[in-house]
Structure 1
Amino acid sequence: MGRSESARILRFAAIGGISTLIYAVVTLALSDRHGFGMPATTASIAGYGAGAVFSYCGHRFVTFMSDGAVGFEIVRFACATAIGFLLSVGLAVALADIAGLPALVPVAMACALVPVLNFVILRKFVFTAAMR
Structure 2
Amino acid sequence: MWIEIACACALLYGLISGWKNGLFEELVSAGGFLIGLGVAYIYFKTVGCNLWTFIFITLGTPLVLGLLATFFTKVLDHVPLAGFMNRLLGALLGCFKWALAVGLVLLLLGKFDPVKQYLSSLFHSVYSILV
TM-score bucket of the superposed structures, by smaller chain:
0.3 to 0.5
Structure number, greater radius of gyration: 2
Structure 1-normalised TM-score? 0.37
Greater helix percent: which structure?
2
Structure 2-normalised TM-score? 0.37
